[in-house]
Structure 1
């Protein structure tokens, strides 16, 4: 079960798509949209990333300006290609060891076509400026999701 609304957002430090480390708590004082997705450059993940890209100016201007962060178990190099291919204006975090994904409760056993495997349960956490989870979107459907997140942030 993912971390719930009202709980402090667990802190982590992960490499970004630029290779530099980012610590979540360094973003205190700002709204943060942390969206977890399974894999770079796959259909659903591309849809979701491109919707966040297209709405990115709104996330940076609204009543609650927000930092958008994508997180997956892909490598920094994979993130660099994905970001460049789709001109993504926000940061992607590489959680190759699945430490943050496990801490947030979204590295789960999944099944497809009768086979089980471990993977990311597509989830988005909206974190308020105090570092508390304000809203959790579970089992996200990519199409239209960025708009739903924008509606929560205002």
Structure 2
């Protein structure tokens, strides 16, 4: 005899213990903290900033030295050092031997510049939607990156002038 459990979805929305305002506040605070670190490093001494990282030159590193403390909450740590950084866009950069490209797996094969071949694994939800969850098929997909920067104008010296939205 086999036991089967059936569950019904009775409502849609935030779960009981969820409080999105906390996450929004923490995210907003983190952005302001990163902005203050950029100001402390000084104009021209930072190259890239993301959710949890700030790439600076030697002067920026010296100016942030007092903030480097891996055991303090909010303290900085030096993840890696290098002599070159290639910034292609948001979450798309090479820093020394490390390459980060959002949406491209580390195991992807570079076919040519901006073209990558990688495996695409189906999600659990996708398997259920297909009606044949027993057919787990891993596809090979080719990603073509446009690398068009849409957040502002990149000047010849690499400085980004953000677009100003009209009122």
Alignment TM-score, normalising by the size of structure 2 = 0.18
Greater C-alpha radius of gyration: 2
Considering fraction of residues, name the structure with more helix.
1
**Greater relative contact order (Cα < 8 A, sep 6+):** 1
